[in-house]
């Protein structure tokens, strides 16, 4: 399993997503859209807007939160089998 997390240090939902991954010992590669050249553009190209956090699980883009709902704990728990 390869998991990439697009995030930024100022993003509260990103911190929640990374805390979820850490709590369940799910390894990931983090790409900070503020410091990695082209990363923000890659998010926009794949999801149509600059929305983070974004998970890329084995090449599939997944938005682990919903505006107004926050991090989708139940859905992500099911996805990762935790």
State in Å, rounded, how far the first CA of the chain is from the last one: 14
Quick one: pLDDT at residue 74?
Answer: 95
CATH for 3-80 is 3.40.30.10
Residue 53 and residue 11 in contact, taking contact as beta carbons nearer than 8 Å: yes
Q: What is the SS3 assignment for 48?
A: coil
- Confidence at residue 58, expressed as pLDDT on a 0 to 100 scale: 97
pLDDT at 50 over 90: no
Q: What is the pTM for the complete model shown? A: 0.93
Between 68 and 20, residue with greater pLDDT:
20
Kindly report the average pLDDT of the chain as a whole number. Answer: 95
Determine the pLDDT at residue 68: 87
Q: Which residues pair with 31 in a beta bridge?
A: 6
Q: What number is the average pLDDT over the span 11-35?
A: 97
H/E element holding 45?
helix 39-47
């Amino acid at each position: 399993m390869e998991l990439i997390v697009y995030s930024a240090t100022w993003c509260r939902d990103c911190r929640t997503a990374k805390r979820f991954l850490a709590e369940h010992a799910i390894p990931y590669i983090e790409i900070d859209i503020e410091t990695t050249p082209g990363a923000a553009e890659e998010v926009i190209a794949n999801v149509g807007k600059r929305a983070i956090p974004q998970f890329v699980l084995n090449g599939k883009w997944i938005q682990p939160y919903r505006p107004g709902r926050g991090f989708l704990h139940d859905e992500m728990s099911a996805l990762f089998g935790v």
